[in-house]
Amino acid sequence: MTDANSKIESRAGRLLQNFDKGMYYDYSQKTKLFRKEYEKGQNDLPFIKFIEDEIVTGEKFYAHYIEFNEPVYVTITNPLSMFRHHTGGFAGKKGSEHFFFQYGLIPVYFASMNTMSMLKLYQTRAAKIFDPSSTFFNDIKCIELSNKKGYREPNPVKFSSMNIIEQSTAKENLADETISNWFYYKYFKYGFWLQPQKGFTPSTHVEFGKKMNAVFKLSKSIYVIDRLGAKEKISVSGNEIEVYNADVRGVWVDTLHFGLPFKTKIEASVFEKLTEKEYGEGLLLNGILMEIRDNESMVDRKFEKILTVSAGNMLSYFDMIQLVSGMLCYRTCRDMNIISKLSSARGFQENVERICKDWMRELKFTGSLSEKIDNIFQTAINMLFPMIIIDNSSAYFTNPVIVGFLKKWNLIVNNNETQKSILLLLLPLLEQIFSLPWKERTEINREENYKELAKLVGHDPKFSSSLIKLVKEIHMFNLIRKTYQTDFS
């Protein structure tokens, strides 16, 4: 019997199994691995609901559902959400009344988890957004999802192992401008990276109705164009798009080195935003590379790879510092289960500058190391605030789920220096909580950093438990990212 909460995930799993057995097998292995790792360390992790449904093939379909203790954020805009899907049909009748269903699946940047996901919408909400006259997708929107009763209540949003966000009864608001800018211009641009990987990866999303139409596998990195070829029109999952053929090289997130050239396509609007001068200087493209598996390409398993979203272009050494810093930060957190502290301040700077020099040699980059900016490294890092913060001794990463925590406790301010002082109390405290045995974590209220923060939240008695839950969520997100990038080939 299928659990009501997992109906759409079980259906998607069944369709994926018929569409691509190899990817379904990889998905099932990763969900099993995650459950195994969860059971080994569940005292350090929040409660997670696991489901085992028997699908029509007789096999068990494994899924899990994650809930959140604070508001969460998704970013929606036309390039990110290009391959959205809307479907519906007859749901039955009662007496003389006929009932119909409709739902939409929209690719979004799930900012709070720093990944690309699918937002699931039903009935009136789906109809409104997918109305042909709607201009909803024309502009960048950062949407906050939280409990209708207030931020202090548990968030009803659920996130499944099939990479689907269930809004449930969560209230939807446009995010504050400050938060929206943080997520799109800092975290998405400089903090979200994803190594190309076999199988079902953290940002894989699917398009389906009565049958599986397509599977989109995403990676995000830095790419340099070695050769630009002809422009052509292609059809992708029912969408006609213009692309350029190209030979590119990309940075492998696992090594932070450039790989060998490979053939791909660049969505025309991404390339045509660049000027001839910019391209002539050998700039780097920061963007999402999408591998598309649709019914036609599954026949001979030759899948198109298209650079579909550009998050910006690198033209200077200053830009390079920011890109390397963000990529190093992402890799470190994923591989070492970092809660907040990345390394010593000196060690972080030395690593970034070493990688920058490697990139400069690879690209034959001629930009000046100083570029007439005093203390260029610190200036570049300051521009990444609040994602990365460096004080006199340490380099810290502000995990994106922390932004929801700050909002929940009214700790977001408009002054960067004040905001930095709050985070330099909070981030070391989170690291300290994680280092304690779980039975001793409630004693964190004895620490000076806690006492200073407690003043800012009116000494709310629930503050310490909220901090402990936040640490568990960060640990869980690191575990998901690591297990879903395990190679089972």
Along the 489 residues of the chain, how does pLDDT read in single tens digits? Answer: 344 455 778 888 888 988 999 999 999 999 999 999 999 988 899 999 898 876 656 677 788 999 999 999 999 877 666 666 666 654 556 666 645 556 778 888 999 999 999 888 776 666 666 666 666 666 778 999 999 999 989 899 999 999 999 988 899 899 999 999 999 999 999 999 998 888 898 889 888 877 888 898 999 999 988 888 889 998 776 678 889 999 999 999 999 999 999 999 998 888 777 654 455 445 678 889 989 898 888 888 888 888 887 777 777 889 999 999 999 999 998 888 899 999 999 999 999 999 999 998 888 776 554 555 668 999 999 999 999 999 989 999 999 999 999 999 999 999 999 999 999 999 999 999 999 998 899 889 999 999 999 999 999 999 999 999 999 999 999 999 888 888 775
- Taking only Cα atoms into account, the Rg of the chain, rounded to an integer number of angstroms, comes to 23
- Cβ–Cβ < 8 Å for 202, 114: no
Q: Is the pTM of this model over 0.75?
A: yes
Under 8 Å between Cβ of 67 and 131: no
What is the Cα–Cα distance from 429 to 327, expressed in whole angstroms? Answer: 24
Q: How many residues in the chain?
A: 489
With contact defined as beta carbons under 8 Å apart, do 411 and 460 qualify?
no
DSSP 8-class letter at 311:
E
d(CA 219, CA 31): 20
Give backbone dihedrals phi and psi of 173, rounded to 5 degrees, phi first.
-135, 155
Output DSSP code: residue 417.
H
Q: What gap in Å lies between CA 463 and CA 410, rounded to an integer?
A: 12
How many Cα neighbours within 13 Å face the side chain of 196? 17
How big is the CA angle at 228 (ends 222 and 234), to the nearest 5 degrees? 95
What gap in Å lies between CA 76 and CA 340, rounded to an integer? 27
Long-range contact list for 10-13, CB < 8 A, 24+ apart? 10/53, 10/55, 10/61, 10/63, 11/208, 12/162, 12/164, 12/206, 12/208, 12/212, 13/55, 13/61, 13/63, 13/162
Contact by Cβ (8 Å): 425, 444 = no
pLDDT recorded at residue 101:
53
Please tell me the distance from the alpha carbon of residue 312 to that of residue 134, in angstroms, as a whole number.
Answer: 27
Rounded Cα–Cα distance for residues 476 and 324 (Å) = 25
Closest by CA to 340, choosing from 386, 409, 286, is 386
Domain borders along the chain are: 4-197, 212-315, 318-480
pLDDT score of 168:
85
Q: Which residues contact 128 (CB under 8 A, 6 or more apart)?
A: 134, 136
Given this model, what pLDDT does residue 240 score?
A: 81
pLDDT at residue 420 in the model: 97
- What pLDDT is stored for residue 276 in this prediction? 47
CA torsion through residues 166, 168, 173, 179, sign: negative
pLDDT the model gives residue 301: 86
Look at residue 239 in the predicted model and tell me its pLDDT: 73
Strand runs labelled E in 23-178: 49-54, 60-68, 72-76, 85-94, 97-110, 115-122, 141-146, 155-160, 164-166, 171-174
pLDDT confidence of residue 135? 67
Secondary structure of 351-388 in the HEC alphabet?
Answer: HHHHHHHHHHHHHCCCCCCCCCCCCHHHHHHHCCCCCE
Distance CA 282, CA 271 (A): 13
What are the beta bridge partners of residue 390? 395
DSSP state of 259: -
* Residue 107: per-residue pLDDT: 85
Residue 401: partners with Cβ closer than 8 Å, 6 or more residues away: 68, 70, 72, 112, 113, 470, 473, 474, 477
